[in-house]
Amino acid sequence: MKKYLARWRSWRSRSGSISEACQKRYEREDLIFLIQLLIKDFSAIRGTPFRLAIDNVITSESAKYGHINLSAAELEEVWKEV
């Protein structure tokens, strides 16, 4: 559990990259690729409650800064590429 908490804290510190990408008006494919790079170290989280938390951060950050909102299917694809 402590391992996942440390990873979660690390993820939260990286989520600023999503806001920067949104502010720079990245294309959808580029934003998805950026997210794939951000979560590549977190493949062990797949299938745990932490994945839902990360999905929520991705969704909220994308919505907050706003020009690209990823669907549930796109979030699933992000994790398949990890």
CA distance 22 to 59: 12
Q: Are 46 and 62 in contact (CB under 8 A)?
A: no
Give the pLDDT confidence of 9-33 residue by residue, as tens digits.
565 555 567 777 777 888 888 888 8
- In whole angstroms, give the CA distance from residue 70 to residue 76: 10
**50-63 pLDDT tens trace:** 888 888 888 887 77
**Which one has a higher pLDDT value, 63 or 79?**
79
C-alpha 51: how far from chain center: 9
Taking all residues of the chain, what is their mean pLDDT, rounded to a whole number? Answer: 76
